[in-house]
Amino acid sequence: QVQLVESGGGLVEAGGSLRLSCVASGRSRSSYAMGWFRQAPGKEREFVAAITNRDGSTKYAVPVKSRFTISRDNAKNTVYLQMDSLKPEDTAMYYCADQGTYSLAYFSSGSYEYWGQGTQVTVSS
């Protein structure tokens, strides 16, 4: 059983920055990656970024490339999402997720088994 707790969301103006944190416990040895997803009202949950548990390789969705950075601190069992140059369209509930099992499709929400409850990010214009 994996437990995830997100924090760091809030209200910021366009162009501002936030850093989201996800503290994980009980991670499976077979989990290939942890990721961040987001969901705006009336829209599907979409992939934001992911980082592999073994070597720290990263992948980003096109809309956030060069603006967001995913990282990890193994000693703290924490994954971060640094968000810079925020835009109003980044407004969403952000979720941390852990695959729980091995899957190369870590860009797909369907490959993730464990989810946090989310942290709200609101970007004003």
Contact in structure between 122 and 11 (CB atoms under 8 Å): yes
Chain-centroid distance of CA 26 in Å reads 18
pLDDT tens digits, one per residue of 47-76: 999 999 888 999 999 999 999 999 999 888
Which residues in the chain show pLDDT less than 50?
Answer: none
- pLDDT (0 to 100) of residue 104: 84
- pLDDT (0 to 100) of residue 43: 96
- pLDDT (0 to 100) of residue 102: 82
- pLDDT (0 to 100) of residue 28: 59
- Cα separation, 50 vs 58, in Å, equals 6
- pLDDT (0 to 100) of residue 82: 98
- Name the amino acid, one letter, at 81: L
- Cα separation, 109 vs 69, in Å, equals 19
